[in-house]
Structures are given as C-alpha cells and as structure tokens.
Amino acid sequence: MKKIIQILLLAGLLIMAIIITAKAQTDKEVKLFLNSEQTHWVKGTGLGQIWVRYTDMNPGSTIYGTAKDNAFDVGLRRVRYQVMGQITDQVFIYTQFGINSFGSLSGRKPGLFLHDVTAEYAVVKSKLSLGAGLHGWNGTVRYSSSSVGTILGLDLPYIEEATNDITDQFVRKLGVYAKGQLGSLDYRVSVSNPFPIQTALNAVPTLPENVSNIAYYSTAAPAINYQGYFFWQFLDKEANQIPYMIGTYLGKKRVFNIGGGFSTQDHAMEYRESEGGQVIQQASKQFGVDVFYDAPLNKEKGTAITAYAALIDYDFGPNYLRNAGAMNPANGVNAQGSFNGPGNNAPLIGTGQVYYTQVGYLMKKDLLGKLGTLQPYGQLIVSDYDRIEKPITIYDIGVNWLQAGHRSKLSLDYQSRPVLAKGDTEKLVKNEPDPRKGMLVLQYQFSF
C-alpha cells in the first residue's frame, strides 16, 4: 500500500507540472538553410522519456542479493538527439545519439553513444537511394525499425526486434542499404556486418557442454546479415527519409499498408543433438507479414483510429528462447527463481510463430479543452514457441494524454506477462504457484 501511495503522489506532482507547463500545439520545426533556394538544410531534434514505475517482480528476484517481491523506481527510458541534413541535391546525412534505459541499477554518469551515422546518395530521386554507415534499415516487419517518438503504446514492440543488442546496437548494424519508392511500393534492403556476441553490453548466453537440442547464439565470427522489407501503400504515402516507421499519425494521414520482409544470417546459431555430441551450426531466419491502418474517423472532431497486426515466423534453431525486460529493476535471482529470471523479464523471442497486434482510438481534439485529448490503446502478443508447451500471451492496456501531440505526452500503461517454469518434459509450462506478473508505468515524453 505504501508503494502505491508513493506512485500516486509522484504521478500527481508530475501531472500538475505538465498542466502548468504544457505548451501550445505546433508542428513547426527549426531548420538551418544552407542555400538561398532553401533546398539544402540541416536540422536537429530531441526526445526524452521519463518512467515512474511499479513492478511485481518475478519469483526469486533480488537486487544485489536482497530479495524483492516488488519494486518502485524512476528511470530515463530514452534520451535521444538527431541531426540530419540535405547537404546537396543528392546527398542526405543522418545521425542519432543518446542513451537508453538509465535506471537506479545502471552504471552512473552514462556516456552518450551513437545510434545512427549514415550518408546516402539519391541515384534516382525518391526511387533509389544508396547509403552506408551505422543504420537501422531493417527487414522482417514494420516495427523492426520503430520511430521511438511516435509509438502508439508505452514502448516499442520488442517482439519485432529479434536481435536487439545481441548482434546489433539497439537494432542498428554497420552496413550498406538501398531504399526507395516505386509508385505505391516502398522497399528497403540491407547487407550488414552483425556485431560479435562477445562485444554485447550484457553477456549473451552460449552453448553449455551438457545441453542438447537447445540452440544458442554462435561464438564464431558472424556472417553477413541480409534484410529486406517491402510494403504496398494503398492510400497516402509515408515518408522514407529516415528508416524509423511511424507508430500513430494522430489522424493526420490516411494510411493503409500491407507488407512483408525477411532477415537471415548464416551460421548464427549452434546446438548439439545429444550431450557431448558434435556442435551443429545453422542460420537464423526471420519472415514476417503485417498490415497497418491509420486514418481519421471524424476530421471536424479530430477522432482517429490506429490499427496494426503482424505474423512472424522465427527460426533460431531448436528450442531457442530468450528472456528480456525493459530497464530491468532487478539484477539477480535466488533459489526460488523461475525460468523468466530476475525483475520484469519475460519469454519474448524464440523459435516458432508469434502474432502481434495493437489498436488505438484518438478521442476528440478538445476533449480536455486546452489540455489536449486522450488516446486509449491495447496491445497483445501471442507466442507459439517450440520450447513452450502452450502458447503464451503478453498484453498491455493504457492511455496516452496528448497535450501537444507527440511533443508533450503522458502515458499510463499496465502490462501483464507470463511466468514460466520447467515441466516434466523439455517443454516449459506456466509457473502454477505464480503464473503471471504485472507492471504499471507512468511515462512522460517530450520531443522537439
């Protein structure tokens, strides 16, 4: 009860501050023009996301050895800065830097790091551009490259970022890419060097000596990663100047797209068919299809709907399964621990099929008068992975309070996740004594 009161008090203070300081809605941006025709320019943007959170911890969670059933924390989910520019008629540059997931368990005084540094040349304007650098032009599905500032829900759909910080740097890799629009067809393809798992920020589990029929990421030098994503635009066309796909247009466009894509990397995984047997290497393969719809319902009132659905087939070798949790509030487990591991970890990416969907409704623009409007939403992940006995679900329900569109946004989100345990066979089952856990997050986002 004491923790809940703390959350409510902090939430109230944050809301009061936002009401007092909320700025007027505007879509203006600041550009520095480099020529008199104003066709060459440079501009900068920034974003911050602050989390106030209460988490029901996974069984056996500890913080530096101290057992914790729940946790209240405040953190910086993201701080990002972008600088981009049209340097000549053909050359476009894009850079992004910042920090992710700075919480109470993070190393102090974090350094800003590079997310993107790319330069591209328009071979045929809008139809074909070639680029290179540290990039996020990814394949598989729409939100394998997400726009963090326009997310519909509280956080990115990690279910579509299968190698996040395993063989990439927060979904970016060093490589080359081609992209463009041919009529209603938007396409992107890339060829990249994955990062070795040995350089990951957090240690990536590798194949133990006594484990069979379960795949792990290979310690061998990584092979080239090939990716592509293609979608047909039936209504308004979306911009593709930068790789990151909009989460919700808040009724400013009429978009209906159907897409599909892939990502593959040779000998990325390894496993043994029997204990002590020969190590077998295999490729990681991802294929997906999706549909995105975003449109106004009543232009006068400002109401709109956003809907998205994706079906993805993941093949990371036999019984591969990875846990993950955003800005994990715990860093250890004791003897009472479950398969999930510490804190808010959940079984997220694995070999098998996964279905993801989200839907949001933008209420009328003057719902709260000068204080903006609301956008309730829901998200659902249904995962049918080989290593789990039955399909599992993760769901979020929440609401965005849009004071100035995405520039000043307060979000309240509740997430429910499954807790797994080892069964009588090699399949994982729900943890009967404690099958689900929840997390409540209040986020304030500012961007400019």
Q: Are 229 and 171 in contact (CB under 8 A)?
A: no
CB-CB contact of 262 with 304 (8 Å): no
Which residues does residue 323 pair with via DSSP β-bridges, in sequence order?
347
**Can you give the pLDDT at residue 57?**
98
pLDDT recorded at residue 30: 79
Give which of 389, 377, 325 is closest to 352, Cα–Cα: 389
238 is written with which tokens?
């979306």
Tokens of 299: 């232009």
Sign of the dihedral through C-alpha 164, 167, 170, 173 = negative
Strands (E), 316-363: 321-324, 332-333, 346-350, 352-362
Pairing of strands 255-272, 303-315: unpaired
CA gap 390, 187 in Å, rounded: 36
Using H for helix, E for strand and C for coil, what is the string for 360-397? EEECCCCCCHHHCEEEEEEEEEEEEECCECCCEEEEEE
Per-residue pLDDT of the chain (448 residues; tens, 9 = 90+): 455 444 444 444 444 444 444 444 445 677 899 999 999 999 999 999 999 999 999 999 999 999 999 999 999 999 999 999 999 999 999 999 999 999 999 988 888 899 999 999 999 999 999 999 999 999 999 999 999 999 999 999 999 999 999 999 999 999 999 999 999 999 999 999 999 999 998 899 999 998 999 999 999 999 999 999 999 999 999 999 999 999 999 999 999 999 999 999 999 999 999 988 999 999 999 999 999 999 999 999 999 999 999 999 999 999 999 999 999 999 999 999 999 999 999 999 999 999 999 999 999 999 999 999 999 999 999 999 999 999 999 999 999 999 999 999 999 999 999 999 998 788 999 999 999 999 999 999 999 9
CA distance 333 to 400: 34
pLDDT of residue 13: 43
pLDDT value, residue 70 = 97
What is the 3-class SS of 222-256, one letter each residue?
Answer: CCCEEEEEEEEECCCCCCCCCCCECCCCCCCCCEE
Q: In sequence order, what are the beta bridge partners of 269?
A: 217, 282
The pLDDT assigned to 275 comes to: 86
Assess contact for 80 and 93: CB atoms under 8 A.
no
Structural domains of the chain, ranges and CATH numbers in brackets: 30-395+415-439 (2.40.160)
Tokens of 256: 């209906």
Instruction: Take residue 202 and report the two structure tokens written for it.
Output: 């957090």
Task: Provide the pLDDT for residue 27.
Answer: 56
What six digits make up the tokens of 95?
């850079």
